[in-house]
Chain A
Amino acid sequence: MSNATSQEVSMPVADPNDPYKAPALMPSSADKEPRSFSPDAFAVPTRKIDDWRYTPVERISEFFDVFTPSNATEISASYIDGSAVSESSGVSFRSIEKTQAPAGTVLKPSDRASAVQWASTDRTYALEITKDQSIPVLVNITGAGLALDALHLVIVAGENVHADIVLEHSGQARLAEGVELSTGKHSEVSLTSIQEWTNDSKHVGSHRLHVGEGAHLRHSVVTLSGDVVRLRMDQDFGGPEGDLNMLGIYFVDPGQHIEHRTMVVHNYPECKSRVVYKGALDGKDAHSTWVGNALIQPSAPNTDSYELNRNLVLTPGAIADSEPNLEIENGNIVGAGHASSVGRFDDEELFYLQSRGIPEIEARKLVVRGFFGELVDQIGIAEISKHLMGVIDRRLARGESDEMKHVLEEN
């Protein structure tokens, strides 16, 4: 920390009301880890390894050694309104060989689980978008039970292309998944990955993202359920003036572990990144982890980077880990900052709303909707925003069930 002043970094002024806002220059060491397609390049994860210290590794140990996939997970693509995609409309979705480009071209696996996923995968799919799309393209990924499976998807959006892509994960699954996304020069692309698994599902995934020169990418992650979900996002820029906006929303129920790791790398000048993740945790032993790394390399002057994580603990007994790391290797930047907080749902807020005639359950909905609202709007796809708010409302309504009451009484 002491070397912070010796670097010429323009930092946001510390806000006394939000002590977490002050940026920290912490060694993230994210860039010093190996990058490899070979599982053996990485040690088997334990809690002692920094990258895995928040993860209940014992609950996902099956993802740490190469396995034979069930190949039962279903995958299909269409437009979000159900109509078919076609090459003539500029969308191609097909099965390819893992050895065939563009598979394996966007960065390399950054941890053992993603190298194992790559090594285990039999089925690889490519989604290529070559023309502007006015309707979001939907890729449905449906689990087919708890037999371990692996799947790889590579998405390529061409130069200047405007397109929205949604990955919707649902059903019961135990899935190792790799997603690669490469966006072309001056493209404007959004990728939204929704995880809405059954409560006994496990999902370990790696998103590897390459943002084209002058391109804008909005990458959104919405994780609503699953026993253990761990997603790691690695990214780099392909040229100057790239703009990356990463959004995350998660809702964690009792006993669940939901983890997101965003690893942003500024490797070109004049690029901008924003990472905003927000989560609500409900009930005993609900556990969320967000780790956000931003690495600003010497090759990236005039970088503008900011990351934020907010957690709302709705009932006692939940744990939210939140760890922002900034690694700044370039003194000539526009800004770099982070904020992180864990807030409790406040009894006084609840009473205030109730004293105006609003029943407890509605009061909770108001507060949680307010907490997520702006972020949900930013996802920018009406169907998804609506769906999301509906899911969140149902979740909160379920808080009224006997099971939840029991959990609440325990605390």
Chain B
Amino acid sequence: MQHTLEIKDLHAAVETKEGRKEILKGVNLTVHSGETHAIMGPNGSGKSTLAYTLAGHPKYEVESGQALLDGQDLLKMTADERAKAGLFLAMQYPVEVPGVSMTNFLRTAKTEVEGKAPAIRSWVKDLQGSMKKLRMDPKFAQRSVNEGFSGGEKKRAEVLQLELLKPKFAILDETDSGLDVDALRVVSEGVNRAKEDNDFGILMVTHYTRILRYIKPDIVHVFADGRFIKTGGPELADELEETGYDQYLPEGSDSESALA
């Protein structure tokens, strides 16, 4: 089935000690099932903020705009309702949840997302199969969610959830960062497998073209200063790697990479 995610003129802000700070300044984007969009842009430009805002993190306040999943406004839903509607966010910094085991967490999440408990035998098989393919030690299932996982292990665990929860749209926020060469391949294969099975749309935030060799983008966007400022084909990623973002940044911009 074909699904559409439409982000329309999205503005969002965060409350800081120095007062309210607008981070998203008019984001527009449309993604369809089966498409892979790469999102590249300087540090601090608001890519994670966009991801969190779509997923419903309470820290980010939407000032205006819409995010429609098949016409339904995600921004009016609680975070769990958005997940149930079919949105998945693989976080740049997955959160540790002490005391809650991975298996218990995954089964609860699956039950909530599907609206009914998964059949026990096929569930165990799916879980074990996915973990094996992601080269995760079965012992991880008994450990607390993300607790004490290395950076790379956390990223694998995010992709494991992506495979099991089968969303309509997946936002991958720097899922490739902190992975060694082999892990990058394993994780990419995991994403591709999940996509083959479910044909979801992908918004992939990354700083590196390396992952784009494994997960081929249809469209590449440049995100700077709170909005998309350029869109192109896969060749745009290579161009960015060559030239950097300077040309896209306003004069006197305070972005980290501009300073560097």
Q: Which residues of A contact B (CB under 8 A)?
A: 346-349, 351-360, 362-363, 366-367, 369-371, 373
**A362 adjacent to B108 (CB under 8 Å):** yes
Interface residue B70 (Cβ < 8 Å from any Cβ of A): no
Using CB atoms, name the residue of chain B closest to A373.
Answer: B99
Q: Tell me if A's interface is mostly helix, strand, loop or mixed.
A: helix
**Cα separation A363 to B105 with both chains bound (whole Å):** 9
**Cα separation A356 to B113 with both chains bound (whole Å):** 8
A342 nearest CB across to chain B (Å): 14
B14 nearest CB across to chain A (Å): 14
Using CB atoms, name the residue of chain A closest to B82.
Answer: A355
**Cα separation A358 to B82 with both chains bound (whole Å):** 10
**B101 adjacent to A359 (CB under 8 Å):** no
Task: Give which listed residue, B82, B95, B144, B165, contacts A370 with CB less than 8 A.
Answer: B144
Interface residue B246 (Cβ < 8 Å from any Cβ of A): no
Q: Which residues of B contact A (CB under 8 A)?
A: 55-58, 78-80, 82-84, 89, 91, 94-101, 104-105, 108-109, 112-113, 144-145, 161, 165
- Between A355, A358, A369, the greatest number of chain B beta carbons within 10 A of the residue's beta carbon is seen for A355
**Cα separation A356 to B56 with both chains bound (whole Å):** 11
**B109 adjacent to A358 (CB under 8 Å):** yes
Point out the residues of chain A lying under 8 angstroms from B145, CB to CB.
Answer: 352
**Cα separation A356 to B161 with both chains bound (whole Å):** 8
**A367 adjacent to B99 (CB under 8 Å):** yes
Task: Give which listed residue, A346, A347, A355, A360, contacts B55 with CB less than 8 A.
Answer: A355
Known A349-B95, A352-B91; judge A357-B100 contact (CB<8 A).
no
**Cα separation A352 to B104 with both chains bound (whole Å):** 14
A383 nearest CB across to chain B (Å): 22
**A362 adjacent to B112 (CB under 8 Å):** yes
Point out the residues of chain B lying under 8 angstroms from A370, CB to CB.
Answer: 97-101, 104, 144
Point out the residues of chain A lying under 8 angstroms from B97, CB to CB.
Answer: 349, 352-353, 366-367, 370
- In the complex, 6 of the A-B residue pairs with CB atoms within 8 angstroms, ordered by the A residue number, are A352-B97, A354-B78, A356-B112, A356-B165, A358-B108, A370-B104
A40 nearest CB across to chain B (Å): 47
B87 nearest CB across to chain A (Å): 8
Using CB atoms, name the residue of chain B closest to A349.
Answer: B97
Using CB atoms, name the residue of chain A closest to B108.
Answer: A358
**Cα separation A327 to B174 with both chains bound (whole Å):** 51
10 pairs of A and B residues whose beta carbons are closest in the complex: A370-B99, A357-B83, A354-B79, A352-B95, A356-B109, A357-B112, A357-B113, A370-B100, A354-B80, A359-B80
